[in-house]
Chains A and B, each alone.
Chain A
């Protein structure tokens, strides 16, 4: 293994890596614009120059492979001077309009200027080059050519990752600019990623642009709820009370403004698909259910839960254990599914449509999968591992309800974040509710088909609860709660822990404690520890058809 000396420390480095990759692993900061680990190496920005002993010139660390006996220094005065010159060139024609630029606050030019440059411009501001501003590249991306520093990250993304080659560099020298050929539209299903990887304010998202300034946002790591791939993402939501006490205008109530891909080499690298990126808007597609809907009287969720437990207990005493059952959804967390299974003594199913058949099927060759539920694998592990037939899915349960074998049910419904739930599922759910004596529906939105249910309870949706999802390959990942659920809505696992407490099984509503119980009882999760899962998830011990993302 080659030995390399980096800033007077010797490291064993695997061959084939470049200096910047090693420095990233060790934690040595090297400034860069064009280098990104997932899109290929360009070496055009000259920000990552380092000094290599016996080399007459400074070398770009992103494009220089490690060799045995190399002695590298990253912070010598010569390197610092070179970085300062590179910054001066990049800022030469940059319109320093940070107050109106949407990238401000998370701009790499701002960061590296403060850290490495700090010069004052030698160029009269009035003679700066003017170029096209706010040009629509596609439905999601806007380009500002003035702010572009030509790092070509976006060009390499379309060339090497999506293989669609929409974005190119046109013209040469000082006239070169990022553009799209002719009247083509940049509308591939992964277009939003160029906004994430753009280090400056050149590419901005039409969806997020001007909505809020980045310093008002707080990031919470979560898992995309759009499909069974389970891409890692960061939910950016309001953190500070903007507008203070102005009634109806305060953003302190927790609003999600955007989602950004979080790097996880084993799942999604740095990418998100556009539907997944915008899927948080699905939570505002219909009016949210804020308070429980009962027939007649209005009561709080906490007051209704003992009543619900009494009704379930009386049905069970009268008609036997098989007369009550639960129907969950594959968007519920493992914790909620597990507690539901405990409460209904194993009589819980989650299959509304064809989740199990499709959850490992790809929709394209990058990230998207056919099944639009994030936790189908987890639901199979938790609910169907011991008894693969289950209750026969939604169709089977409806038949049982019509045959009066099942009389009381808890139905938990979370709509798909991407696309629409099949209309026949909703019709069937309505028929199921009609066939039952006693039905509790916990749902996120105020759907009309729930009208016949005895009780409709508001439930926390995606990004409003903490819990684990298991992705298509059996990888267990934690999705943290970012914003508060509206009104009285509660996470399903919390309501289930109250019901279990009423039936004299004391459970903590803490997802960590529930997961540790899962790890003791569900064999694929044996030996797992909630605290050890970490931000990047943990691969499953057992996985029926392991399929690896390329």
Chain B
């Protein structure tokens, strides 16, 4: 705060402490009132077993269905990845934490698939814009939020980790605004042994293409 002539640059509410103390009238009896609250809580938790705290890592609370946790990549009915690598999520992402490399899908109707889909969970701000932007409902969020890891590389989630990891089963999906419209399901490792990630049909490195063109012309 920069003091300027005639007061502060910003309007600061002034609290008159002595005035407030007089209004609240802290007297001898208020001490007993406070002990009354303490002993009534002690009674409810000890005798009636109504405890507001839980033993956290063993016990967890239920989160909202719209909880925005770690992302999930959904799959089609045949178990292949739903993502078409359109970069809408990477474009909208305010934290710029999504990295995609697109490849040519063997099925020309699908056209594209992500050869690489990485989310840097340390950078992510869990705003859910990627879910809103996705035209295929290929990315949804889960109710999982544990990001503890031994090093930074573990927080860089690739396709496999985004698609299937133990936490998804335990918690279930979270923020998923357009569930009724799209057919996208969460990968079930019990039913499908592995996800059918298509391999790149023909690997054409640009330099290879360029070389072959030069040789052809000469």
- Residues on B with C-beta less than 8 A from A282 are 210
Counting chain B residues whose Cβ lies within 8 A of the other chain, the interface size class is: 35 or more
Task: Compute how far the CA of A281 lies from the CA of B213 in the bound complex, rounded to whole angstroms.
Answer: 12
Interface size on A, residues (CB 8 A): 35
Contact status B98-A243, CB under 8 Å: yes
Contact status A281-B206, CB under 8 Å: yes
Task: From A63-71, A209-217, A486-494, A504-512, give the one contacting chain B.
Answer: A209-217
- Residues on B with C-beta less than 8 A from A249 are 99, 118
Task: From B17-25, B26-34, B100-108, B164-172, give the one contacting chain A.
Answer: B100-108
Please judge, given known A-B contacts A242-B90, A243-B99, whether A133 and B85 are in contact too, CB under 8 Å.
Answer: no
The answer to the question of A134 belonging to the interface, with a C-beta cut-off of 8 Å to chain B, is yes
Contact status B88-A134, CB under 8 Å: no
Q: List 5 A-B contacts (CB under 8 A).
A: A100-B85, A100-B111, A243-B118, A243-B120, A278-B206
Please judge, given known A-B contacts A134-B111, A243-B118, A246-B118, whether A275 and B102 are in contact too, CB under 8 Å.
Answer: no
Seed contacts A134-B104, A278-B209, A418-B214; 15 additional CB < 8 Å A-B pairs: A100-B111, A140-B213, A187-B216, A240-B96, A242-B90, A242-B99, A243-B90, A244-B123, A246-B118, A246-B120, A249-B99, A274-B213, A278-B206, A279-B210, A419-B214
Contact status A210-B85, CB under 8 Å: yes
Task: Compute how far the CA of A107 lies from the CA of B204 in the bound complex, rounded to whole angstroms.
Answer: 25
Task: Compute how far the CA of A240 lies from the CA of B206 in the bound complex, rounded to whole angstroms.
Answer: 22
Task: Compute how far the CA of A240 lies from the CA of B109 in the bound complex, rounded to whole angstroms.
Answer: 30
Task: Compute how far the CA of A418 lies from the CA of B86 in the bound complex, rounded to whole angstroms.
Answer: 33
- Residues on A with C-beta less than 8 A from B135 are 99
Residue-by-residue, is A195-212 near B (CB-CB < 8 Å gives 1, otherwise 0)? 000000000001101110
- Residues on A with C-beta less than 8 A from B207 are 281, 284-285
Contact status A215-B91, CB under 8 Å: yes
Contact status A241-B96, CB under 8 Å: yes
The answer to the question of B42 belonging to the interface, with a C-beta cut-off of 8 Å to chain A, is no
Which residues of chain A from 285 to 305 have any CB-CB distance to chain B below 8 Å in the complex? 285
Interchain nearest-CB distance for B157 vs A (Å): 11
CB-based closest 8 A-B pairs: A243-B99, A99-B86, A244-B96, A133-B108, A210-B102, A134-B108, A281-B210, A278-B210
Contact status B214-A213, CB under 8 Å: no
Task: Compute how far the CA of A241 lies from the CA of B98 in the bound complex, rounded to whole angstroms.
Answer: 11
The answer to the question of A139 belonging to the interface, with a C-beta cut-off of 8 Å to chain B, is yes
- Residues on A with C-beta less than 8 A from B159 are none
Contact status B120-A244, CB under 8 Å: yes
- Residues on B with C-beta less than 8 A from A215 are 91
- Residues on B with C-beta less than 8 A from A419 are 214, 218
Task: Compute how far the CA of A245 lies from the CA of B124 in the bound complex, rounded to whole angstroms.
Answer: 11
The answer to the question of A37 belonging to the interface, with a C-beta cut-off of 8 Å to chain B, is no
- The contact of A207 among B104, B108, B209, by CB within 8 Å, is B209
Contact status A246-B99, CB under 8 Å: yes
Task: Compute how far the CA of A245 lies from the CA of B98 in the bound complex, rounded to whole angstroms.
Answer: 10
- Residues on A with C-beta less than 8 A from B109 are 133
Interchain nearest-CB distance for B50 vs A (Å): 47
Q: Of residues B98, B111, B120, B204, which shows the largest number of chain A Cβ atoms within 10 Å of its Cβ?
A: B111
Please judge, given known A-B contacts A99-B84, A100-B84, whether A213 and B213 are in contact too, CB under 8 Å.
Answer: no
Task: Compute how far the CA of A209 lies from the CA of B95 in the bound complex, rounded to whole angstroms.
Answer: 26
Interchain nearest-CB distance for B10 vs A (Å): 34
- Residues on B with C-beta less than 8 A from A527 are none
The answer to the question of B112 belonging to the interface, with a C-beta cut-off of 8 Å to chain A, is yes
- Residues on B with C-beta less than 8 A from A279 are 210
Q: Of residues A187, A215, A244, A419, which shows the largest number of chain B Cβ atoms within 10 Å of its Cβ?
A: A244
Interchain nearest-CB distance for A463 vs B (Å): 15
Per DSSP, chain B at the interface is: mixed
- Residues on A with C-beta less than 8 A from B136 are 99
Residue-by-residue, is B197-211 near A (CB-CB < 8 Å gives 1, otherwise 0)? 000000010110111
Q: Which residue of chain A is the closest to B105 with respect to CB atoms?
A: A134
The answer to the question of B55 belonging to the interface, with a C-beta cut-off of 8 Å to chain A, is no
B residues in contact (CB < 8 Å) with A: 84-88, 90-91, 95-99, 102-104, 108-109, 111-112, 118, 120, 123, 135-136, 156, 204, 206-207, 209-214, 216-218
Task: Compute how far the CA of A240 lies from the CA of B204 in the bound complex, rounded to whole angstroms.
Answer: 25
Q: Of residues B85, B98, B108, B136, which shows the largest number of chain A Cβ atoms within 10 Å of its Cβ?
A: B108
The answer to the question of A189 belonging to the interface, with a C-beta cut-off of 8 Å to chain B, is yes
Please judge, given known A-B contacts A133-B109, A189-B217, whether A99 and B99 are in contact too, CB under 8 Å.
Answer: no
- Residues on B with C-beta less than 8 A from A216 are 87, 91
Q: Of residues B84, B87, B98, which shows the largest number of chain A Cβ atoms within 10 Å of its Cβ?
A: B87
- Residues on B with C-beta less than 8 A from A210 are 85, 102-104, 112
- Residues on B with C-beta less than 8 A from A207 are 206, 209-210
Interchain nearest-CB distance for B153 vs A (Å): 9
Please judge, given known A-B contacts A134-B104, A189-B217, whether A100 and B86 are in contact too, CB under 8 Å.
Answer: yes
Contact status B108-A244, CB under 8 Å: no
Interchain nearest-CB distance for A224 vs B (Å): 14
Which residues of chain A from 168 to 226 have any CB-CB distance to chain B below 8 Å in the complex? 187, 189, 206-207, 209-211, 213, 215-216
Residue-by-residue, is A140-154 near B (CB-CB < 8 Å gives 1, otherwise 0)? 100000000000000
Contact status A244-B95, CB under 8 Å: yes
- Residues on B with C-beta less than 8 A from A100 are 84-86, 111-112
- Residues on A with C-beta less than 8 A from B213 are 139-140, 274-275, 278
Q: Which residue of chain B is the closest to A250 with respect to CB atoms?
A: B99
Task: Compute how far the CA of A187 lies from the CA of B209 in the bound complex, rounded to whole angstroms.
Answer: 13
- Residues on B with C-beta less than 8 A from A245 are 120, 123
Q: Of residues A139, A215, A246, which shows the largest number of chain B Cβ atoms within 10 Å of its Cβ?
A: A246
- Residues on B with C-beta less than 8 A from A189 are 217
Task: Compute how far the CA of A284 lies from the CA of B205 in the bound complex, rounded to whole angstroms.
Answer: 11
Interchain nearest-CB distance for A276 vs B (Å): 11
Contact status A206-B204, CB under 8 Å: yes
Interchain nearest-CB distance for A373 vs B (Å): 16
Task: Compute how far the CA of A251 lies from the CA of B137 in the bound complex, rounded to whole angstroms.
Answer: 26
- Residues on B with C-beta less than 8 A from A240 are 96
- Residues on B with C-beta less than 8 A from A418 are 214
Please judge, given known A-B contacts A133-B109, A134-B104, A275-B214, whether A242 and B85 are in contact too, CB under 8 Å.
Answer: no
- Residues on B with C-beta less than 8 A from A244 are 95-97, 99, 120, 123
- Residues on A with C-beta less than 8 A from B218 are 419
Which residues of chain A from 237 to 288 have any CB-CB distance to chain B below 8 Å in the complex? 240-246, 249, 274-275, 278-279, 281-282, 284-285
Contact status A242-B96, CB under 8 Å: yes
Q: Which residue of chain A is the closest to B211 with respect to CB atoms?
A: A285
Task: Compute how far the CA of A284 lies from the CA of B208 in the bound complex, rounded to whole angstroms.
Answer: 11
Q: Of residues B91, B123, B210, which shows the largest number of chain A Cβ atoms within 10 Å of its Cβ?
A: B210
- Residues on A with C-beta less than 8 A from B99 are 242-244, 246, 249
Please judge, given known A-B contacts A139-B209, A244-B96, A246-B99, whether A275 and B217 are in contact too, CB under 8 Å.
Answer: yes
- The contact of A139 among B87, B111, B120, B212, by CB within 8 Å, is B212
